[in-house]
Structure 1
Amino acid sequence: MRILIITQNFPPLEGGISTHTYEMAKNFVFCGQEVMVVAPFLKSSSEFDKKQNFRAKRFPEFSAGPLLRFLITLFCSFSAALKFKPGIIYTTHWKNAGVVAVMLSVIFRIPHVLFVNGTEINFLKSKKSEYRLFRFVAGHSQKIIALANFQADLLKKLAIDENKIVVAHGGVDFPRFEKKDEKLIQSLKEKYNIGTKKVLLTVGRLVPRKGHSSVILALKEAIKTYPKVVYFIVGRGPERENLSKLAEDSGLSNCVKFTGFVSDEEIIAFLHLCDIFVLPNKVVNGDYEGFGIVFAEANACGKPVIGGKSGGVSDIIKEGVNGYLVDPENIMELKEKILEILENEKLARQLGLKGREMARNEFNYSNTARKIVDIFSKLI
């Protein structure tokens, strides 16, 4: 089967959709399929594409009006389809790429499958023109892949035919996260003078919906019982100054460490050295955590996780199995769950081991790719 993927986000661009699309392209090939990706050209795209097991056609991305961007995407996708002769089209965006996919689906008489990631569909009913466009693209898609059950429910509320909707979770590159770099871990311990302290960790963009502030406030209470704790905040974002001030005002300047940007290798090392991964995600102005693959990445490293009761996170975190779900606004509940794990090493180990098993068996890209390829096969 030949699969044409049309996307607006693709490596070397960073981000969740970019990673998902890349992993699907790579793993579709591992499943025995031929793949061509149509994506924007970025600096270092050429070097990146040379290393892949699939073909890529890049189109120029520059500041221009939406019509010109659409026409460029259409032209490049059409020429790619003429040459590649795909049996199916897979898109990870419903706007430009989605409309282009619908047009090519009609022209070449091949099925189109749309992937829906997260928050973008939560705002559609308040934007009539975009809502109509989404309904058009979804209506002309043979199947719609939802990242989690939360997105599937949102699609149903938008009156999308539920017979078209299939949930296919995101995944983890399990071997990559399972492997421990002991030398790098030791280097980080020495750099931050961790010693025998227990480590809480959040990895993610510093924005309100990630719940960093809730962890700081919970830590303020937790250290009264368990003082030997340090909290690492890995990532960048607009909330850095506010969070730093909150830590200072809470008397936690020595307990809360901001690392800023770190490499992928260092992220994995931090996940291995932490005792609890905690990200009490919340809904802020309609923005939510679409899936939270970082929880599965922490689980892959054998760590217990604590997340918030919002978005698609409940698909990953099973209460008392691989971690806990909390009300992100309930600081005392969050504190109690943190202490429950810190004070019970057997429980922490059980949660981490079960999480690793779930990451290996339920949340890996190869399984997701096989599931989607099976969907494709039934449409052709």
Structure 2
Amino acid sequence: MKKSLLVTLEFPPQAGGVATYYYNVCKNLPAEKITVMAPNQPNCEKFDEKQKFAIIRDKILEDLLKTSTLTSRLLQMGLIRMMGKIIKLHNIELIQVGQILPLGTLAYLYSRRHHIPYIVYTHGFDILLPQQFTRKKILIKKIIDGAKAVVANSHFTKDELVKLGADADKIIVVHPCPNINNDEVSEWKIGEINEDYGLKNKKIILTVGRLVARKGHDLIIKALPAVIAKIPNLIYLIIGTGPYQKELEKLVNQQGLRDYVKFLGYITDNELPAFYQVCDVFAMPSRQIGPDVEGFGIAYLEANLFSKPVIGGKSGGVGEAVINGKTGLLINPNRVEEATEALIKLLTDSAYAERLGLQEMERVIEEFDWASQTEKIKEVLA
């Protein structure tokens, strides 16, 4: 296997699905075969010293994280020089690129000059957004054409790459996998959460995700009055932070739902399993808004690991995470009545909800584990 360098703007301890994705890829590669180049982050020293593979924190990447653009020629040259030093010092034979823009540009330029191959990762939004700009669209096509392989997080993302003109044969799909402890949560912890958040004897809807418009929190909130009319002991828990929170809080107030909706903010990975355990339904009816789209949706699989039925939106790569009618329900993410119907069905028909949850738990365990998914990347690195 070739020794490789992953250059990325997103890596733990930074939160987020993309950062976690790359961390799990690296964890499942031989430690001596992977080096990571990532931005400085708060508390990164403590995180880095626990890892078996090498992590190099770069100040230029930290600056780039704030701007997400390589307009500065000086910044470009500084990053290329730093990459060159690391490549020579660690005997790197292949570059892995975490962000097609702007970092794919560096790999493309470095590869042309030094003849070191590179692979590039894509997640959906990073492909759709630049297509609004002709120059970026052309640049992405060059980066893809020059790559040894392109890793897509879903078949949806792969299809978007093919539409862009990418060679389908060089695209490999590596799905995100749950990285959450699904061991049985203690009765003590369940009791603590029930007490702290007033959940005893409640029917619980849960959403876990960044508070942005495309996640569909607003659709669930708009559906709640009709659902509460049928199921008055209902509560909706929203875990996550983001720029859409004020809009959602305003909607809750307008609907008179302050007693039924709780914004829990950030919840640690250690605490999250208990919330999956206590919920009755996981709902995240994601929609596409312009180029912003759900490339896959790891949270659906996390909920399914706890045998919970899920509701997803018919958009992006969600249909690969949720098989409609078998492992969950897919709805039109812009139709309140579909959300209402799905919620009432899953909250009142316990046998049906349990069957969906169990079927998906089996599927997740069989198909979505990082060791088997990373084997596809190992083949490229061979």
What does residue range 203-222 of structure 1 map to in structure 2 within 5 Å? Answer: 203-222=208-227
Q: Does 1:50 align with 2:49?
A: yes
Q: Does 1:4 align with 2:5?
A: yes
**Count of paired positions:** 374
2:319 to 299, 308, 314: 314
Q: Does 1:191 align with 2:196?
A: yes
Q: Hey, what's the Cα distance between the residues in 1 that align with 2:222 and 2:27?
A: 42
Look up the equivalent residue of 2:8 and give its one-letter code.
T
Q: Hey, what's the Cα distance between the residues in 2 that align with 1:179 and 1:87?
A: 43
How far is 1:207 from its partner? 1.4
Look up the equivalent residue of 2:179 and give its one-letter code.
D
Counterpart in 2 of 1:169? 175
Q: Hey, what's the Cα distance between the residues in 1 that align with 2:177 and 2:14?
A: 18
What does residue range 18-33 of structure 1 map to in structure 2 within 5 Å? Answer: 18-29=19-30
2:155 to 149, 156, 177: 149
Gap change, CA 1:300 and 1:70, over 3 Å in 2: farther
How far is 1:106 from its partner? 3.9
Q: Quick check: 117-126 or 153-162, which moved more?
A: 117-126
Counterpart in 2 of 1:259? 264
Counterpart in 2 of 1:368? 373
Q: Hey, what's the Cα distance between the residues in 2 that align with 1:192 and 1:15?
A: 25
Q: Hey, what's the Cα distance between the residues in 2 that align with 1:123 and 1:179?
A: 41
Q: Hey, what's the Cα distance between the residues in 2 that align with 1:243 and 1:12?
A: 28
The alignment-based identity, stated in percent, is 33
**Residues 205, 237 of structure 2: 8 Å contact kept:** yes
**Residues 96, 118 of structure 2: 8 Å contact kept:** yes
Counterpart in 1 of 2:361? 356
How far is 1:257 from its partner? 1.0
Look up the equivalent residue of 1:74 and give its one-letter code.
I
Deviations 1:101-134 (A, max 9, x none): 2344345534311110121211233212211221
Look up the equivalent residue of 1:40 and give its one-letter code.
P
Q: Hey, what's the Cα distance between the residues in 2 that align with 1:213 and 1:94?
A: 31
Gap change, CA 1:278 and 1:165, over 3 Å in 2: same
RMSD: 1.8
TM-score, normalization by structure 1:
0.93
Q: Hey, what's the Cα distance between the residues in 1 that align with 2:377 and 2:58?
A: 26
Counterpart in 2 of 1:41? 40
Q: Hey, what's the Cα distance between the residues in 2 that align with 1:99 and 1:92?
A: 11
Q: Hey, what's the Cα distance between the residues in 1 that align with 2:20 and 2:200?
A: 34
Q: Does 1:290 align with 2:289?
A: no
Gap change, CA 1:59 and 1:367, over 3 Å in 2: same
How far is 1:146 from its partner? 0.8
How far is 1:247 from its partner? 1.9
Name structure 2 gaps, 5 residues minimum.
Answer: none
Q: Quick check: 191-200 or 109-118, which moved more?
A: 109-118
Secondary structure, counterpart of 1:39 in structure 2: strand
How far is 1:298 from its partner? 0.9
How far is 1:45 from its partner? 2.0
Look up the equivalent residue of 1:67 and give its one-letter code.
R
Q: Hey, what's the Cα distance between the residues in 1 that align with 2:175 and 2:13?
A: 22
How far is 1:34 from its partner? 1.6
Deviations 1:263-293 (A, max 9, x none): 2222221111101000011112331111111
Look up the equivalent residue of 2:328 and give its one-letter code.
G
